Structure 1
Amino acid sequence: MEKRFNIVNNDVEKYIQDTLAPLRDNLQVMYRNALKNGVPVVRLEVLRVLETYLILKKPYSLLELGTATGFTSIFFSEYLKDNGYIDTVENDLEMVKRARENIKEMAPDKNINVIYAEACDYLKNINKKYDIIFIDAAKGHYEEYFDICSNLVNNNGIIFSDNVLYRGMVAKGDKIPHRQKTLVERLHGYLNRITKDERFCTSILSVGDGLSVSVKK
């Protein structure tokens, strides 16, 4: 079972998760299996926030950094415009294989492209624009991802970054364990950077392990 760290009261989080509508059957099974096997997966309450934006935005093009088993891409694909597509990037070959199998089984009619690459390498070598970009890859590189993605997202598009409060440690100042200090400092710098970027309107939401929402003006 994957160990989960909460940045909100445990009772509040449980209440929210119990109250939210469940995922459709096959996604619910996939979600539970990911939790059981310790595979990284976006939390239910975060998914529902993302779902709200997806319904409002109805994107044609979506980029995901960090595919894992393909769960999030499959979830996102339900909200694309007709003929819309998802590019999802993963640097773990075994995860790429699993994601492609899951997508073939659960979303065979969706245009989801699983790309085996390092996120930064991929970003530096493409020339296309996206309506939504979801960053859920190596947290130590979030600022580098954002710097490139800021030019890849369309006007009125959205960049989401997951796990930005990292177990609540970003707010703990000098009380950070030594082994996690560098990562936390990078995330702290990242949040300062994106909230001050005048090209975007950015909010930080205390759902899951922290979600930032940056809308390009």
Structure 2
Amino acid sequence: MEKRFSIVNNDVEKYIQDTLAPLKMELKLIHDNSIKEGIPVAKLEALRVMENILILKKPFSILELGCAVGFTSIFFSQYLKEDGYIDTVENDSDMIDRARINIKMLALEDKINIIYAEALDYLKNINKKYDIIFIDAAKGQYEGYFDLCSNLINDGGVIIADNVLYRGMVAKGDKIPHRQNTLVERLRHFLNKITKDERFSTSILSVGDGLSISVKK
């Protein structure tokens, strides 16, 4: 089973999760099965923040980097415009097989397009724009992803990155395990860079494992 880390007080997190509206039954099943099998999925409080962005934005096109079993793409698909679509990129063929089963189970094949590729390779070789981009792939590559995504997001579009506070380690100065040093430093550099990027208005939220939300001006 996946060990769940919290970057806020456990009592506060539990209260928020207990208070927020629950997931729909089909999504809850995918979510709960993923947790049992140690497959990382976004926490409910992070999903609800992203849900509000999707409701306000009403996106036609979404790009997701890191599909896993398709849970987040399925959640996002509820808020697409009528003819909208999601491209989701994944480099693990086993995860893709499982995602396809979940997507087919909910009859979303015409909404969600799974792309078998390395995220950086895909980003370097496409020529299209998106309303929302969700980054949830290799955390050590977030800066590279964002650099490429900045040219693929529509004006007024939103780039969201998950796990940016990484178990709270990003805020802990030098008090982090040695084996995590490189990853934490890369995330710190990433956050420092995007908050200073004048093309975007960026917020960092301490929900889930940390979300960055960057709106293209």
Distance 1:211 1:30 in 2: 22
Pairwise mapping of residues 40-51 of structure 1 onto structure 2 (< 5 A)?
40-51=40-51
Distance 1:107 1:164 in 2: 32
2:23 aligned partner: 23
Distance 1:174 1:121 in 2: 33
How far apart are 1:109 and its partner, in Å? 6.0
2:129 aligned partner: 129
Distance 1:108 1:178 in 2: 43
How far apart are 1:198 and its partner, in Å? 0.2
Distance 1:110 1:16 in 2: 34
DSSP 3-state at the match of 2:174 = helix
DSSP 3-state at the match of 1:164 = coil
How far apart are 1:108 and its partner, in Å? 3.1
Distance 1:193 1:110 in 2: 36
Residue deviations 1:24-75, cap 9 Å, x none? 1111111111111111111111000000000000000000000000010011
Instruction: Give the total of aligned pairs.
Output: 217
Distance 2:101 2:187 in 1: 33
How far apart are 1:161 and its partner, in Å? 0.3
**In the alignment, residue 202 of structure 2 is paired with which amino acid?**
T
DSSP 3-state at the match of 2:35 = helix
Pairwise mapping of residues 104-143 of structure 1 onto structure 2 (< 5 A)?
104-108=104-108, 110-143=110-143
Distance 1:48 1:159 in 2: 16
1:86 aligned partner: 86
2:6 aligned partner: 6
Residue deviations 1:132-161, cap 9 Å, x none? 000000000000000000000000000000
1:199 aligned partner: 199
**In the alignment, residue 80 of structure 1 is paired with which amino acid?**
L
Deviates more, 1:98-107 or 1:207-216: 98-107
**In the alignment, residue 51 of structure 2 is paired with which amino acid?**
E
DSSP 3-state at the match of 1:175 = coil
Residue deviations 1:149-208, cap 9 Å, x none? 000000000000000000100011111110000000000000000000000000000000
Structure 1 residue runs of 4+, over 4 Å off?
none
**TM-score between both structures, scaled by the size of structure 1:** 0.99
Gaps of 5+ in 1: none
**In the alignment, residue 62 of structure 2 is paired with which amino acid?**
L
Does 1:164 pair with 2:164?
yes
Distance 1:110 1:45 in 2: 28
DSSP 3-state at the match of 1:174 = coil
Distance 2:68 2:211 in 1: 18
Deviates more, 1:92-101 or 1:178-187: 92-101
2:32 aligned partner: 32
1:188 aligned partner: 188
Distance 2:85 2:208 in 1: 26
DSSP 3-state at the match of 2:145 = helix
Distance 2:214 2:180 in 1: 25
DSSP 3-state at the match of 1:182 = helix
